[in-house]
Amino acid sequence: MMSYMLCPCCLRASYLARYRHEQGGLLPNSDMAVAVTSSSNGGPLSQTDTPRVPLSVRSEGGTRLDSGVTQIHAAAVNGDKQTLARLIAMSVAAEELDLGDQFGRSPLMYCVLADRSECAEILLKAGGQVNLKDKGGRTALHWAAHKGNLRLMKLLLTRGADCREKDNEGQTALHLCTRHKLPKVMALLLRQLTPGEIDDQDKNKRTALHWAASYGNLDHVKMLIKQNSNIGIPDTEGKTPLHWAASSKDREALSCVKLVLETTPSVINWQDYEGRTALHLAVADGNECVVNVLTSVKNVNVSALDNMFRTPLHWAAVLGHSKIVSILLDSGADSSSSDANGATALHYAAQNNFSETVSVFLSRQLTDEPDLEGRTAFMWAAGTGADDVICAFLSAGVDIVQEDKTGGTALHAAALSGHSSTVKLLLDSGARLEVTDQAKHTPLFRACEMGHMDVVQTLIDYGARVDGLDQDGRSPLHWAALGGHAYICQMLIKYGDGPNVRDHSARAPIHCAAYGGFVNCMSALMEHGAEPNAQDHVWACSKGHLDAVKLLIEYNAFPNHMEFTEDRYTPLDYALMGEHHEVAQYMIEQGALSITGIQDIAAQKIQVIGVQFTIQ
């Protein structure tokens, strides 16, 4: 039975809106998904948050707590200069000044984290190591830059702090200071660096310019560009600073985008390693202002394809950004462009029930192009129960009986996916109740197969035939039994579908239920007169369904029927060949024989008759 695309889209606006491609795209068990990442201050990238430092630390009855905090740590974080000076004077060795807590953070780092500059100066004068690293690879200068503390940064630099040191993530103080809109902090660090050091990359190959752009930090972006920071450096995802600026939520991000483009307009169409341009990311983030700026650039490719052959218009449609869809279409975006699944942007807007977005497309008299399976956006909408979109299509005069490559219609799609409201809407709008696909399946067949009771009842209420047969001679009851839907089996029999109707292979619905081991269906069928001795009940044995076999025996099924083939196998033969030992043992206990056993008994009887004949 053919399945329609039932693709739940979980896309949400994010800097990293990415599509996941599984099993050929928008088929059952696949989706388009967006990874959402955010930092504490709204930037799309994230850096390690500043650790919480207690406002007061007490260390009594010993020199060190279980957490590694010493009395010197306590005095430093509390800003107790007198106690700190006394403890330093009492220290046996200079190393005690630099003892780390459980995270490797020294008293000097505590001063930085708690903004105790006077205590920091005391520790430095006493010989505290300025470039000591904690377990994260960060020095006191890293933390001062991370907090944007200009006064402490100046103090540390005058005491020999190395601003080129990298933490475990490969980040320098320059990377970390970008999270704060403090140009004086950036300027202080830039004065310490040579031009070649400004573009140092962290482990993700991101420079300070990447980070400043991601935070929408316009002043920092200006300063870095003025120092000739390279705008075209890609990170590990292939993203340039323009990508990150385009996906930033900061109010200055738009100005960052403009500045980058004024400096290096050639980056407008640069694609990351998943084929996404800055326009893709701005669309995914729903940033209309940035989209307007990007689409106004002279050489912008508004229909650039990512690795899944999706354009920014696809992204806008799947997220329901109707205004951005209008902007892109006005800028010349190709509405007929199809992705790896053969789907256009209209398909994605339709399946997610974005009626306003769909109306934007329809108002421009755009053609509803079919996908690779011949399914239009209208059919996708029916398959996901997108009733608002269906109404929009109907108002636009859609052909309600259009067919895909298998002959399926929108009504088939709605029935298969179990959307009874959509089924009613389509029928009330003129959809044909008994329309069949290439397999001669009506919508009722689809609903019975999938067990959608409400849809089955709706179709029957509208007059659907329950005794129709498909190209294999199977009725809706066959398909309900094959799916294990006992209640629907009872419903179909109630409305006139016979329990013993045979398909072209002489199989009745009970064979279908036995094949799947659906005991409830088998019981319901036999209670309504299904014949337990109908040939081919060996299916239950062949699949090893012990409960199904027991039920058949209870209804007096003969255990030694031989099939109508040259081999003449019995149910026991099938159980043995399938290595279903419990079934075989039960069958033997019920007097079942294999074909060999039957042949042996027959041979013995023939011998006895022969002997008797000879004697006579």
Residues 549-580: tens digit of each pLDDT: 666 556 656 565 555 555 556 666 666 666 66
Name the band, by pLDDT with cuts 50, 70 and 90, for residue 506: confident
Residue 574 has what pLDDT?
A: 67
Q: pLDDT of 278-320, one tens digit each? A: 999 999 999 999 999 999 999 999 999 999 999 999 999 999 9
What global pTM score does this model have? 0.79
Residue 524 maps to a domain: yes
Give the closest residue to 15 by CA, choosing from 286, 254, 357, 256.
286
DSSP one-letter string for 397-453: T--TT---TTS--HHHHHHHHT-HHHHHHHHHTT--TT---TT---HHHHHHHHT-H
Residue 565 maps to a domain: yes
Q: Do residues 323 and 364 make contact, with C-beta atoms less than 8 angstroms apart?
A: no
Residues 6+ away with beta carbon under 8 Å from 193? 163, 164, 174
Residue 449 maps to a domain: no
Q: pLDDT of 1-24, one tens digit each? A: 334 343 433 333 333 333 222 222
**Phi and psi, residue 16, nearest 5°:** -115, 25
Q: Is the pLDDT of residue 547 over 90?
A: no
Q: What CATH number is given to the structural domain containing 479? A: 1.25.40.20
Q: Do residues 138 and 166 make contact, with C-beta atoms less than 8 angstroms apart?
A: no
**Phi and psi, residue 311, nearest 5°:** -90, 170
Q: Tell me how far apart the alpha carbons of residues 532 and 557 are, in angstroms, rounded to a whole number.
A: 5
**Unique residue bearing structure tokens 């972006």:** 221
Q: pLDDT of 147-203, one tens digit each? A: 999 999 999 999 999 999 999 999 999 999 999 999 999 999 999 999 889 999 999
Q: Do residues 108 and 130 make contact, with C-beta atoms less than 8 angstroms apart?
A: yes
Q: Tell me how far apart the alpha carbons of residues 584 and 592 are, in angstroms, rounded to a whole number.
A: 9
Q: Is the pLDDT of residue 452 over 60?
A: yes
The SS3 assignment for 596 reads: helix
Residue 388 maps to a domain: no
CA dihedral 60, 64, 65, 69 (to 10 degrees): 110
Residue 500 maps to a domain: yes
**Unique residue bearing structure tokens 């892109």:** 328
Q: pLDDT of 570-613, one tens digit each? A: 666 666 666 666 666 766 666 665 656 555 555 555 555 555 55
Residues 6+ away with beta carbon under 8 Å from 534? 500, 502, 508, 510, 511
The SS3 assignment for 382 reads: helix
Residue 415 maps to a domain: no
Q: How many domains does the chain have?
A: 1
Residue 278 maps to a domain: no
Task: Give the structural domain span for 486.
Answer: 466-615
Residue 544 has what pLDDT?
A: 47
**Unique residue bearing structure tokens 């590990």:** 236
Residue 300 maps to a domain: no
**Phi and psi, residue 35, nearest 5°:** -85, 125
**Phi and psi, residue 406, nearest 5°:** -100, 0
Residue 364 tokens read as: 């421009």
Give the distance from CA 512 to its chain's centroid.
Answer: 35
Give the closest residue to 88 by CA, choosing from 71, 106, 65.
71
